[in-house]
Amino acid sequence: MDTELNNESDAELSELEDNNEEIPNQIEESADSEESADDIDFVIDREGVPDSTQEKSEKEKLLDEIFKDCPISFKEKKPKVKKIKKNSFIRQTLADLGFNDDGTLRSKPHHKQKKLLTKNQRDEVKKALKKSVITPEFEKLHVVPPLDISEKKLKEQRKKERSLTKGSKWYGLPATELTDEVKRDLEVLQMRSVLDPKHFYKKNDLKVLPKYFQVGKVMDSPLDYYNNRLTKKERKKTLVDELLADAEFNKYNKRKYKEIITEKQQTHYKAWRQAKRSENTDYKKSGFDRGHLAAAGNHKCSQKQVEQTFFLSNMAPQVGKGFNRDSWNRLEKHVRKLTRVYANVYCCTGPLYLPRKESDGKNYVRFEVIGANHVAVPTHFFKVVVGETAEGKLEMETYVMPNQVIDDNVPLTSFQVPPESIERAAGLLFFDNVARNKISKINGKKN
């Protein structure tokens, strides 16, 4: 092994000595030339170039002028020009003339060769060119043609168009819109065997409505002959007789009174609604409470009934402190306590507008109105209460209280009045189907 390594090292040393001998020989040859190394402007590698005896070409002359002041390096085996790469103009000029940066001629062109397209790539390019709207005579067209639609989009477009029709079996007719009226007609057609059992119809197995259908309509033919001459039997003497004989007129004339009133109310509902009701804004800053006629505490058995007691139709303007919150509230509690005494209790409550004697000795009915809707403020309120015992006996209590501040020390019995006075003032009859002689007590006194 040692002998082999020594032989290899001896061979390498001999090669280095040969190389070192070649470099000085080259320098000596260049020194023996017509000009010294200091006076040389440019050195070119002569491999692949004609002999020096021939005349210089135009490229060589141009190179001599460009690299006139450039220093030359002889350190490498082949002489190269220093600092050429730093000057882009010189480098580009060498490349245009067909030389490398070190001054040697190029065997291949500098520019890169274009890669050839594969077969698949060429096919894709052809397909793209087919869809392109730019043709050889594109500039002569007045309108730019649209791009070709892909097959996938074309299928989707055709499918959407088919969904708007009934299909080829229906000759491409437009699909019928399934409105509520058409839906009812189809349901009637499905039930025709039940509606007309005397006729035979093919049983319809479909329990759902068909997707495509066509509902026909009976149209009067314009060719039908119309005879305006009446026979003697059908001819009437006057217009009144003709109107009375008309079935539609008789039907309209035989309407009930309730139907006529309902139509009038619907016609003038807006004006009628505004004239017949009050609003919450009428009570705002009026100084009056929205007093209950049917007390909410009397209807605690049902939430719905409690909510209905808060309708404004169950309200009337009442003085708040001293009446609605005090004396009137005591009367409502007294009525609720009667349910513990009697098996059944019946109560009627309402407003009164009673006359008052003025300073001139005359009686006047005067009351205040509040709000934009002129809600009338009652002068008094009444309660008519009938209690039924377990034995079926009836007892009555009637009260009339003024709509004003009342002292709490005043007993409720001081506001009891005969029931006839309330009926006369209110214009109503209370429990008129019950004879008064069947009522055992009225205001605690035997009848």
Catalytic residue positions? 292
Distance of alpha carbon 299 from alpha carbon 22, whole angstroms: 130
- Cα 208 to Cα 165, 187, 190, 196, 216: the distances in Å are 20, 9, 10, 21, 20
Cα angle 67, 70, 72; round to 5: 110
φ, ψ at 153 (rounded to 5°)? -70, -35
Q: How many CB atoms lie within 10 A of CB 389?
A: 13
CB 176 within 8 A of CB 214: yes
- Cα 138 to Cα 125, 130, 141, 147: the distances in Å are 19, 14, 6, 14
Distance of alpha carbon 50 from alpha carbon 128, whole angstroms: 52
Distance of alpha carbon 123 from alpha carbon 114, whole angstroms: 18
Taking each helix axis from N to C end, the angle separating 58-66 and 88-97, rounded to the nearest 10 degrees, works out to 170
Select from 292, 446, 283 the least CA-distant residue to 381.
292
DSSP type of residue 83: T
φ, ψ at 366 (rounded to 5°)? -120, 135
Select from 440, 435, 433, 396 the least CA-distant residue to 418.
396
DSSP type of residue 141: -
Structure tokens at 12: 């390498």
- Cα 176 to Cα 216, 292, 295, 440: the distances in Å are 11, 58, 58, 76
Distance of alpha carbon 412 from alpha carbon 253, whole angstroms: 56
φ, ψ at 329 (rounded to 5°)? -65, -35
Distance of alpha carbon 251 from alpha carbon 308, whole angstroms: 39
CB-neighbour burial class of residue 399 (10 A; exposed 0-12, middle 13-18, buried 19+): buried
